[in-house]
Structure 1
Amino acid sequence: MGRIRLVTWNINSVRARLDSVEKLVDKYNPDVICFQETKVQDHMFPGKFFHEQGYSHHAIAGQKSYNGVAVMSRVPLLNIDRRDWCAKGDARHVEVTLPGNIQLHNFYVPAGGDEPDPAINDKFAHKLDFLDEMTAWSGDLPKDSRAILVGDLNIAPYESDVWSHKKLLKVVSHTPIECEKMNTLMQAHDWFDVMRHFVPEPERLYSWWSYRARDWRAADKGRRLDHVWTSPDLKDSMTSMAVLEDARGWNKPSDHAPVMVEITI
């Protein structure tokens, strides 16, 4: 039996934060890194840098300046696939097969803009449509699949996933309709919330802190926007989870902290 250490991280421009990536690798030594918001076209992705770090297996889906997801791995990646969600042509999903026949899905769900009204905000309408399409897709997955879903899903579903439930009820990422759609999505495949397994409610659990706070750690106005889910057949294989909050304080940081899990295979 082996072990895979996996990190998911909204890097907020991979080329701008290679120093942070190198620090992550030196300190935590993950086997697989799933990035969101890489903001780079495929032909400009810094593959040589990752190869020099020992990540010789790559699965990338990028576009110019926006979105973008990637899986960097020290273990072989098979059956690489990309899907165009909502027929938008956005790079928001990449799928690979890890050793142990584990299907890994790396997602970047639309943020949804500022106004939580789909009638006047096309970005929020897109987010809701994206979640509906993910729900239909989840329902079609084989019930006995060995699947892991990770990424920046841009929703903090529980009261303890945000710094103030009352103040964020009308703020995109914690509105009732988003939380309800995420719950429906999870039920469609009986997804298992790995982060909340290791840090049960009502303990606070965040992975994102706004750039707007002068001292993000002192203010601690966080949200849990990043997630790790598994299908039922894999939940007992998850042996640990940690939000790497120290990375949020590194030089020129992403506003997201990496989330790390360990999986036995």
Structure 2
Amino acid sequence: MISIATWNINSVRLRMPIVARFLQEEAPDVLCLQEIKCQEHQFPYEAFAELGYTHTAVHGQKGYHGVATVSRVPLTEFSRHDWQDNGEARHVGVELGGAGKGMILENVYIPAGGDEPDREKNPKFGQKLDFFERMTRWADKVDRPTLIVGDFNVAPLESDVWNHKQLLKVVSHTPIEVETLQRFKDAHGWTDIGREHIRDPERYYSWWSYRSKDWRENDRGRRLDHMWASPDLAAQSTRHWLLEDARSWEKPSDHIPLITEFDL
């Protein structure tokens, strides 16, 4: 049995107290973090080691983006893909367990895409779509049991957002993003583990804007964070849950953690 969590933490050094709380209370075997917002030498390795997470793979950069995977079980860094095609630190892949035998775990932070869902008016939106296309070409060649997790910055289903009609022209829920994400899904036949366990149309959000003062009462959430697995691996997932309370912790991220348990 192994449990794997993913969380866009929005600055790991600023939010290390709530990361520590999460690890103490939920105790996943592996935690994938996005938006760590620090260089590799600035990452709080010691704080994680004190909590028992002594195995790390960190791909960071100054001030922005960055991903890190921390683990209580041995891991080997497997890959770093530049799907953004500009050198930004948005991906790190690891292999859990023995080399050549273990699960491949891909940790990714997909660009948000700016405010205007138009490639001509907003280059950031085009970069996001191109990022997905590069990921799709990669996924087409995946030939080992793989779990890809992280902040995908797309809420694909109507039930993944607080108001489908109002958000159809809002970046993260536009038809072109949903179609682009579907092509990525089809390229490897990924299983959306979250929606295997929390079935559509059940409410399922992982992000609430900082602009919403009472996020719980207004509940204007979106499901931007995902855990997708190769079909055989997905069939071994026994439990999936999310920690909404973390959105109310002191100095919270605007995202919450997702956790999946596998019977491997």
Q: Give the secondary-structure state (helix, strand or coil) at the position aligned to 2:15.
A: helix
| Inter-partner Cα distance in structure 2 for 1:39 and 1:250 | 20
**Are 1:182 and 2:181 counterparts?**
yes
Provide the C-alpha distance between the structure 2 equivalents of 1:28 and 1:179, rounded to a whole number of angstroms: 31
- Residue 62 (1) aligns with residue 63 (2): no
User: Which structure 1 residue ranges, 4+ long, deviate > 4 Å from structure 2?
Assistant: none
Aligned to 2:14: 16
Name structure 1 gaps, 5 residues minimum.
Answer: none
What is the CA-CA distance between 1:115 and the residue it aligns to? 0.5
Cα deviation digits, residues 184-205 of structure 1 (max 9, x gap): 1100000000000001111111
Letter paired with 1:55: Y
Paired amino acid for 1:12: N
SS at match of 1:16: coil
Partner amino acid, structure 2, of 1:104: L
CA deviation after TM superposition for structure 1 residue 236, in Å: 1.4
Matches within 5 A, 1:112-261: 112-142=113-143, 145-261=144-260
Gaps of 5+ in 2: none
Compute the displacement of 1:235 (Å).
1.4
Aligned to 1:137, what secondary structure does the other structure show? helix
Shift of 1:228: 0.3
CA-to-aligned-CA distance 1:12-38 (integer Å, 9 cap, x gap): 000000110111011101110000000
User: Do the aligned partners of 2:77 and 2:92 also contact (CA within 8 Å) in 1?
Assistant: no
TM-score for the superposition, normalised by structure 2: 0.97
Answer yes or no: is the 8 Å Cα contact 1:59–1:80 preserved in 2. Answer: no
Contact 1:37 1:69 in 2 (8 A): yes
- RMSD (Å), alpha carbons: 0.8
Q: What is the aligned partner in structure 1 of residue 35 from structure 2? A: 37
Q: State the TM-score, normalized to the length of structure 1.
A: 0.97
Aligned length: 261
Change (3 A) 1:264 1:30: same
CA distance in 1, matches of 2:113, 2:213: 25
